[in-house]
A = this chain, B = another copy of it.
Amino acid sequence: MTFPVIGMVGGGQLARMTHEAGIPLGVRFRLLSDTPQDSAAQVVRDVVVGDYRDLDTLRDFARGCDVITFDHEHVPTEHLRVLEAEGIPVRPGPDALVHAQDKGVMRARLTEIGIPCPRHRIVADPADVARFAAETGGWPVVLKTVRGGYDGKGVWVVRSEEEAAAPFRAGVAVLAEEKVDFVRELAANVVRSPHGQAVAYPVVESIQVNGVCDTVIAPAPDLSPELSGQAQELALTVARELGVVGHLAVELFETGDGRILVNELAMRPHNSGHWTQDGAVTSQFANHLRAVLDLPLGDPRPREPWTVMVNVLGGDYPDMYQGYLHCMARDPRLKIHMYGKDVKPGRKVGHVTTYGDDLADVRERAAHAAAYLRGTITE
């Protein structure tokens, strides 16, 4: 047998769901996890517990693998270069991944290749933020630490020079961006293989609550074919120009005047692509694996007119299993995806998807299930 060993760095839910997608392929899955209790570590046979920030740990782990991929974007770029120099394929590679790790590098590169972004520049201090505000039409201004943010963390919307002080306290470079007056958020998800084959999923609408993704609707309702095509082409261009291998999520703002601007990039399976598990011919997880292994990619087309994903956040109920009875009985098409995580308020502990012909009905069913599991509603 020459079935390859895939080394997955990080034991979160993305690794868990990638393992799930890899079981049918018969490939071997090796996990580097922070703890034996991490989401993916609960369901994978071959688990190495260790710290991905430690180069020796990473090298030891990688030696048993045919290719390395990631659950998150936090592995130091320089460590990845060492693995590559030792002949271990890293996918996506450090030259691509740095664009998902460092928002300053990302903005500079996207601008260079003509991809529309909000106006932006690296700012030195609060006074510099005030100058940026003056240059770009005034407050508010969005400030982001160039590294380390996710799910709304590491992002501030500030309305004055005084408010602009906080982001600088972390000692990380700070990027200022104009606050885009968007009508909604979209995501264009694509997968690209080392061969250069690429597939584009339907563009989805992503609805955030408190800076965290709440609902994803596939495809994005009432999106013009022109804008949909533009968004897919944009994502394919980014994947090609940045040399991405694997799944690339391009989070977008849609403006009132019919433009799209890039908000964020993620180079791994992404929350905006979870709907594909139940709603597309090939899931983002299966296609990420196929890309990482340089296999031909699977059909990204939707299987249903509408698929809706809603995240299940931790609420006041520690026991989400008891909600299964109600939710499964109410909607026999509902798919629950739990991550095996302890419930903490606001923490993403799972998601649900459902699908059908009638968008209002599909949204209601998905939202009800997520709220019921969380304990927000009880009937």
Residues of A participating in the B interface, judged by any CB pair closer than 8 Å: 1-4, 16-17, 19-20, 23-26, 28-29, 41-45, 47, 277, 281-282, 290, 295-299, 303, 318-322, 324-325, 328-329, 332-340, 342-343, 350
Contacts and interface: CB of A to CB of B under 8 A. Distances in A.
Contacts of A45: 41-45, 47
A23 B26 contact: no
Contacts of A20: 20, 23-24
B332 A298 contact: yes
Given A45-B42, A321-B3, A325-B296, A282 B332 contact: yes
User: Which of A4, A16, A26, A296 neighbours the largest number of chain B CB atoms within 10 Å of its CB?
Assistant: A26
Given A1-B320, A24-B336, 4 more contacts: A1-B343, A26-B339, A43-B45, A44-B45
Contact of A42 (B17, B28, B339): B28
A322 B282 contact: no
Nearest to A331: B299
B332 A26 contact: no
A328 B191 CA distance: 15
A20 B113 CA distance: 42
B322 A2 contact: yes
B333 A1 contact: no
Contact of A24 (B26, B318, B335): B335
A249 to B, nearest CB: 21
Contact of A296 (B3, B321, B328): B328
Listed from nearest, the 3 A-B pairs whose CB atoms lie closest are: A26-B338, A299-B332, A296-B328
A271 to B, nearest CB: 15
Contact of A321 (B2, B336, B343): B2
Which of A29, A277, A295, A336 has its CB near the most chain B CB atoms (within 10 A)? A295
Contact of A298 (B25, B42, B321, B328): B328
Contact of A44 (B25, B26, B43): B43
Most B CB within 10 A of own CB, among A23, A281, A334: A23
B332 A281 contact: yes
Nearest to A20: B23
Given A321-B1, A324-B295, A340 B26 contact: yes
A283 to B, nearest CB: 11
13 contacts: A1-B320, A4-B321, A17-B23, A24-B338, A26-B320, A26-B339, A41-B45, A45-B47, A295-B325, A295-B328, A296-B328, A298-B333, A299-B333
A73 to B, nearest CB: 23
Contacts of A25: 324, 336, 338
Contacts of A2: 319, 321-322
Contacts of A303: 303
Contacts of A340: 3, 26
A158 to B, nearest CB: 39
A4 B324 CA distance: 12
Nearest to A319: B2
Given A296-B325, A328-B298, A333-B281, A43 B29 contact: yes
A368 to B, nearest CB: 15
Contacts of A41: 45
A152 B106 CA distance: 61
